[in-house]
Structure 1
Amino acid sequence: MTQERSNPLFHENLYRPVYELNKAYASLAAGVVTFTSSVIESEGHIGMVGFGITTILTAQCGHYTLKAIPLVKRQCKIFFNKIEFEDIKAIRQEHMAKENILNQNNKKKGNNKIFIGNGFEWGVEHANRSYQIQGLYSDKQEVKLPLFLKPFVKKWRKETLKLGGKPWIDGVGDAERQYVDAETFFGHSMIMGNVGTGKTTMFILLSLAMIHKGYTVIVLDPKNDSSWRKALQLEMEHFGKGEHFHYFHPSKPSTSCTIDPIKNWNRPTEIAERIASIMVESGKEDSFIRFNWNVINSTVNAMLYAGIQPQIKSIARYVTTGKTALTQKCLERHYAKCLGEDWETQLSAKMSSFGKTRLEQMLNYYQQVISQQHQSPEVDGIIQLLTHNAEHMQKMTANLLPIFSVLTSTPMDELISPEEAIAESLDARDEDTRYDTAESESIDYTSNHIEGVSKKSGKIREKDSRYVDTSDIVENGGLLYMALDSLSDTKTAGYLSKLVLADIAAVAGSRYNFSEGRGRRVAVFVDEVHAAIAGNDALLNLLAQGRAAFMQMFIATQTKADIEAKTDPATANRVLGLCNNFFSMRANDTSTQEYASSQFGEVPITSQQITLGQSSGNTNDMTDFGSSYAERLTQQNDKAFNESLLGSLPILQYVARLADGRTIKAKVPVIQR
């Protein structure tokens, strides 16, 4: 075959009547007739001549049969398709799961390959075959299956129709087990496909592989797919890690774990950024969002200054009804810092002239006296909010209050603002360090610092066994499965996606800044990512820089248009560009089809032109007649994978462009236990 392909006149034609099979039938029939007639003529004995001819005909039958079998198999794939299954035990063995999970240092041992399905690398020959089949009639009458296969046709066709699409797309190649190196996924992966085409099955295959490699796994599943959740939970239990499987579900508060999505941060402004990003729709910001960002940021800074741990529930309370109380706490703390703990005794004679109420006195004395030498940005910020025109404030925060209402309603208040009643104080923080400009840059204002101070001051928290800290699970391993219940509450699911992804990004930032990117590798799976992408810079940062923090993203959506609708075409292209691996199941969206096709590039497509001609003269001479026949082979570059094929893929099949340079067409197997 290699020598044939080197011939410039070579043209592969696999989709034709199997003439070799007809020759085999004829040789077999001739052999039987020869053998029978020879026996009859020799009265029960076959002569040497008859034996020789029969042997030759039998050998000829075998020869043509061997040539026909590959063609018959290839042509059967045009018409039939089936679901493929994989035993979880075999996959564990291939991934060397036991060795990887027991290795706490997460170092590579043995092979580092990951199984991604059965398929083949799409090349020039497959592109040419696909164009050939597209040139056949719709009923493929040019290809006729052998008679002996007719009894099986009905059984095979039933499963083929269930999977839908065009089975021949997978039939143009010879499927083999496809593996990728684990490092291939370090550059993030995008999975696209219509509803019900196999994205979740692909996620199950990949997330199980991440468990087998000993990675921390975080899943954001808007649908709460029971098959995905159970597959991961059973796998964790199989390796004795069942207690490290954490399940979050807003509709099941009694059994759900709790999580604080704004606990981890490197700068206080990140908290305001996370909450304000929820307000962004279609990727557009406006003056209202910037104003609300300032309101949240000033409130958070004041809370930290007063020694209060920011949580969504507490932030909502202080933004809406608690500004007066928070202002008073900040002023009391500032007075104590500047004048000492006995400041009330020192100022008892002066304060009465600065107002009627205690708050008025403290506020006016601060603005007129203390701020001249000891000004505090945190105190100034909360005072500005308190004294702002109430009517204007209500108008500007009209979009923020419904968000707080959603995130603090029952049971969300307990699920994402856990341990609200426990005040984690910052009182033990060293005052001199707080104001020492030489050391201020090295101060750690993260919530981990707050916890440490709480322990120093004797307020040791008894952690709820259901509470999960993103930082802990990232560094120490485990699996967090968040079912966001988007079917019943789309907005809340989108809010949670944005908040949790921002929390993960903060942990990644801390790891990158303070651990030089070292640590346990983390795999984050986000389904329906378009719901969390609008205004979510944290997600884009994870895609752009997460690799440096040993984090890899697996994100999925239905079409490219879904991302564009929530952001804009430029952002959609940026997201796709940041994902070095692209997988696509069946997609009917034109922009998705065009993008997938472009990943395969162009290849030379061979086309055959046949010319027939006839001519006759005006004379009566019988030789005054002519005819001609000509064949012409031409090659022209065309798309290796035509856009229309993506809309015709059967269920559980995909095409992929991988970071290692390969373009693959494969099937996703269903995992069996």
Structure 2
Amino acid sequence: MEALLRPPVELWSTATAFAAGTLAWLAPWALMMPPGIAMATSLTFFGFGMWRGRQAWRVLRYQHHMKRLPKYQVRANQIPVSRHKLFLGKGFRWTQQHTQRLRDTLKPEVQSYVQPGTLYQWARQKEVAWESIPILSLLAKALRSRSRWNPLAPLPAVGGKPALHAVDPHEQPVWMDLGERVGHTLVLGTTRVGKTRLAELLITQDIRRGDVVIVFDPKGDADLLRRIYAEAKRAGRLDDFYLFHLGFPELSARYNAIGNFSRITEVATRIANQLPNEGNSAAFKEFAWRFVNIIARSLVALKRRPDYQQIRRYINDIEPLFVEYAGHCARVAGIDAWASLVEERAGDIKERNLSNALRGRSMEAIACMRLLQERAIYDPVLDGLISAFKYDKTYFDKIVSSVGPLMEKLTTGTIAALISPDYQDEHDARPIFEWMDVVRRKGIVYVGLDALTDTTVASAVGNSMFADLVSVAGHIYKHGIAANGADASESERQRHSIPTISLHADEFNELIGDEFVPLLNKAGGAGFQVTAYTQTWSDVEARIGSRAKAGQVAGNFNTMLMLRVKELDTAAMLTEQLPRVEVFTLMSVSGVDDSSDPGSGVDFKSRNEDRISVSEVPMLTAADMVTLPKGQAFALLEGGQLWKIRIPLPDNREDAAMPNDFEEMADAMRRSYITNDHWYRVTDHWWHAVSEATVESADSSPNSEGQN
């Protein structure tokens, strides 16, 4: 039995030993000892006193930490970085001993060692009562001060129960093997308990290690953005830093969310996945998928990169696209003077002779359709366009009505230029990035989705980015990161030098969709390592809409870090994975028995006993997760090893790399956006890759319009 919550009785023997040692040293005659023996006796007493003093200090420090833990703050340039390990903070490996100590703090007789004393409570009351009273307000201010000279200073504003970490005052740096990160990491914690600060710690190490770093931040945390910018600057990687922020379009880089794909059907899938699919909405979603797929295939066949602006335009009016593609088919078929033929045929068409579905359509488009049918020109893309063109316009508008509002939101205002960039606009100096180029350049990308302003747009853009990343992962897995046109030796070298891609998804319940699951369970071989942050697991279940699918997502996270959570089901995700342990309880038993024999001379018998009982309890309970102080977490690492950690608070004092405010960072980034880079332009390499994707998609499709 270990007893640390008790009076430090070792101090008595310490004082006695030092007193006796001093007496033997200074006055050996008082002990009737020769000088030599007195010297040896004095040293022996001093040694014994130091040994007992160390034991007393252990008890005193343990009891002090029960009420107030020492502050843990680290400057950014002092964060340790390893090529083989990931630093998580300071802490200790949690064992049965710590469960025993934690249960000991619940006993009523030890509360004076765990809870702040009466004088502390008096100070907290008076600092409020006196704050508006002249003269006494100065005393209240002194009581409120956290100076080391204030014996009644208030506790740090971290809440929780310090005893959860004080059960082991011997902290050590906690490291996680980098090989475990490929199994992905899940961070759970309620609002304002340190998830973003933990993200800063991990992202800082990833940037300095030279990884490709991609950060998704739905809410747009300014401190996190400033930290990423500062670390990119400190690591000399500012030229490879890209800011994509829906809330600051004038500063943001541009990105075409549907312009890159491995299969052409991905364009329709990324858009249709944002639509509701419950009940009758499922049928409309399928119709929307089909017509978006027809438009995307037509644009690619015309050597045009799809974007939201074009999809919206042709969903509303497909005739211009049909006429343009008909001319393309005529050129391929070698039909001369196609424009004259169309004009001549259009003049012969009478609207009264048309079917109801074609009335109101342009005569030019009808002429194109009839000329192509007469010449028996067949093209799978053309066949899909004709089928869409033949629909009654009113009926067509109804069956694609579900995609209209979404496209309207994605193409309205300044955001349209961000996610539907004009590649040929020489006057727009904002760079355009693509994920494969980011990987090749070992770039750093911050994605601020401004979800507080418009959740729908944030979710659509985020999911499209995830889908694009899955496509990139598939390409890297099969072909490596070599660019088109690289020689064979270079391609082979690039195949075996896949960079580490550290993806951090803050508030990932806002982003998760069908695209996120394959990124977790299939992208590890392509170098992706995902760290996801969320508040409760119910947020994920509500977002996905299925408990089974949520369990599928949870099963792909091999490492879990849990800060304070308020939902017991979320806490149980960690506690139910832990074993049960045996704890010891000391029970005092006393009793009296009277004697029934009057001649024995014994009137009664008394006894006093201390009994130790053993009981089996959970190593941690959900209630322990609820009472964690801010900045503290339990980590389940490397196959179920439980660690208790403290996350270091950032110290930005005298940090030359940290911008003072957002405007300073914005000005610096504007200066770096001097001209458009040419690496993202529409090139023959892009068209060659898209052509291969189109052929692959067409070969694998059962028909020209069916889903792949």
Residue type matched to 1:499 in 2?
Answer: S
Identify if the C-alpha distance between structure 1 residues 629 and 284 changes in structure 2 by more than 3 Å, giving closer, same or farther: farther
Please state if 1:466 is matched with 2:431: yes
1:115–1:178 CA contact under 8 A, matched in 2: yes
Counterpart pick for 2:61 among 68, 73, 77: 73
Contact 2:504 2:531 in 1 (8 A): yes
One-letter amino acid of the structure 1 residue matched with residue 72 of structure 2: E
Q: Match of 2:368, as an amino acid?
A: M
Q: Which residue of 1 aligns with 2:450?
A: 485
Structure 1 residues 256 and 79: alpha-carbon distance in aligned structure 2, compared to 1, 3 A threshold: same
Q: Paired residue for 1:232, among 228, 252, 268?
A: 228
Q: 1:328 aligns with which of 312, 323, 327?
A: 323
Q: Aligned partners of 1:509, 1:35: CA distance in 2, in Å?
A: 80
1:339 & 1:237 partners in 2: Cα distance?
Answer: 57
CA distance in 2, matches of 1:269, 1:628: 84
Q: Is residue 518–residue 549 contact of structure 1 (8 Å, CA) maintained in 2?
A: no
Distance 1:164 1:284, change over 3 A: farther
State the 1:471 CA deviation. 1.8
Partner of 2:164: 169
What whole-Å deviation, never above 9, does each CA across 1:316-349 have from its counterpart, x for those lacking one?
A: 11111x3111111122222222344545578888
Q: How does 1:331-342 map to 2 (within 5 A)?
A: 331-342=326-337
- Aligned: 1:127 with 2:99: yes
Correspondence for 1:23: 13
Write the distance in 2 (CA, Å) between the matches of 1:118 and 1:599: 23
1:235 CA drift (Å): 1.8
1:363 is aligned to 369
1:556 equivalenced with 2:533 (yes/no): yes
Aligned equivalents of 1:73 and 1:30: distance in 2? 26
Gaps of 5+ in 2: 124-145, 352-362, 481-494, 656-708
Distance (whole Å) between structure 1 residues aligned to residue 5 and residue 280 of structure 2: 53
SS at match of 1:480: strand
Quick check: 1:207–1:232 contact (8 Å CA) kept in 2?
Answer: yes
Name the structure 2 match of 1:396: 399
Q: How does 1:490-501 map to 2 (within 5 A)?
A: 490-501=455-466
Deviations 1:22-55 (A, max 9, x none): 332344456678889988999xx99889878766
Q: Which amino acid aligns with 2:406?
A: I
Alignment of 1:110-509 (within 5 A): 111-136=83-108, 139-141=111-113, 155=150, 158=153, 160-173=155-168, 174-280=170-276, 286-320=282-316, 322-343=317-338, 357-367=363-373, 369-371=374-376, 374-419=377-422, 464-509=429-474
Residues 57/152 of structure 1: CA separation in 2 closer, same or farther (3 Å cut): farther
TM-score using structure 2 length: 0.77
CA RMSD between the two structures: 3.4
In 1, Cα distance between equivalents of 2:496 and 2:268 = 26
Rate the CA distance shift 1:285–1:215 in 2: closer, same or farther, 3 A.
farther
Q: Structure 2 vs 1, CA of residues 354 and 71 (structure 1 numbering), >3 Å: closer, same or farther?
A: same
Q: 8 Å contact 2:74–2:648 — kept in the other structure?
A: yes
Secondary structure of the corresponding residue to residue 258 of structure 1 = coil
Alignment deviations for residues 283-339 of structure 1 (CA, whole Å, 9 cap, x no partner) = 99722222222221122122222332200111111111x311111112222222234
| Equivalent residue runs for 1:537-576 within 5 Å | 537-567=514-544, 568-576=546-554
Counterpart secondary structure, 1:392: helix
Task: State how far apart, in whole Å, the 2-side matches of 1:282 and 1:69 are.
Answer: 65
* 1:55–1:501 distance in 2 versus 1, CA, 3 Å: same
Residue number in structure 2 paired with 1:86: 74
Are the equivalent residues in 2 in contact too, given 1:218–1:480 (CA < 8 A)? Answer: yes
What one-letter code is carried by the residue in structure 2 that aligns with 1:324? E
**1-side partners of 2:115 and 2:390: how far apart?**
83
Q: Provide closer, same or farther for how the CA distance between residues 234 and 297 of structure 1 changes in structure 2, counting only shifts above 3 A.
A: same
> Which residue identity is paired with 1:62?
M
Secondary structure at the residue paired with 2:530?
strand
* Partner SS, residue 111 of structure 2: coil
Q: CA deviation at 1:21?
A: 2.3
Q: 1:159, CA displacement in angstroms?
A: 6.0
- Are 1:17 and 1:144, in contact at CA under 8 Å, matched by a contact in 2? no
Q: Which moved more, 1:281-290 or 1:324-333?
A: 281-290
Are 1:623 and 2:588 an aligned pair?
no
Aligned residues of 1:475 and 1:519 also touching (Cα < 8 A)? no
Distance in 2 between residues matched to 1:611 and 1:26, nearest whole Å: 34
CA pair 316-632 structure 1, distance change in 2 beyond 3 A? same
CA distance in 2, matches of 1:514, 1:394: 42
CA distance 1:365–1:52, shift in 2 (3 Å): closer
C-alpha distance in structure 2 between counterparts of 1:144 and 1:35, whole Å: 41
Secondary structure of the equivalent of 2:381?
Answer: helix
Deviation at 1:267, TM superposition (A): 0.7
Shift, 1:85, TM fit: 1.6
Equivalents in 2 of 1:144, 1:364: separation in Å?
A: 89
Deviation at 1:551, TM superposition (A): 1.0
How many residue pairs get matched? 598
Relative to structure 1, the CA distance from residue 254 to residue 546 in structure 2 (aligned partners, 3 Å threshold; closer, same or farther) is same
1:654 is aligned to 2:636: no
Deviation at 1:129, TM superposition (A): 1.7
Structure 2: which amino acid aligns with 1:325? P
Q: Distance in 2 between matches of 1:649 and 1:176?
A: 19
Encode CA deviations 1:96-135: one digit per residue, 9 max, x unaligned: xxxxxxxxxxxxxxx5222111111112222222222233
Per-residue deviation, 1:249:
2.0
CA distance in structure 1 between the partners assigned to 2:175 and 2:94 by the alignment: 15
| Residues 1:542 and 1:596: Cα distance change in structure 2 (over 3 Å) | same
Equivalent AA in structure 1 for residue 581 of structure 2? V
8 Å contact from structure 1 (residues 587, 646) kept in 2: yes
Paired residues of 2:63 and 2:113 also in contact (CA < 8 A): no
Deviation (angstroms), 1:499: 1.6
Question: Contact 2:252 / 2:430 at 8 angstroms: preserved in 1?
Answer: no
- 1:500-523, Cα deviation, whole Å (9 max, x unpaired): 112222211211122268522211
Q: Distance in 2 between matches of 1:287 and 1:353?
A: 39
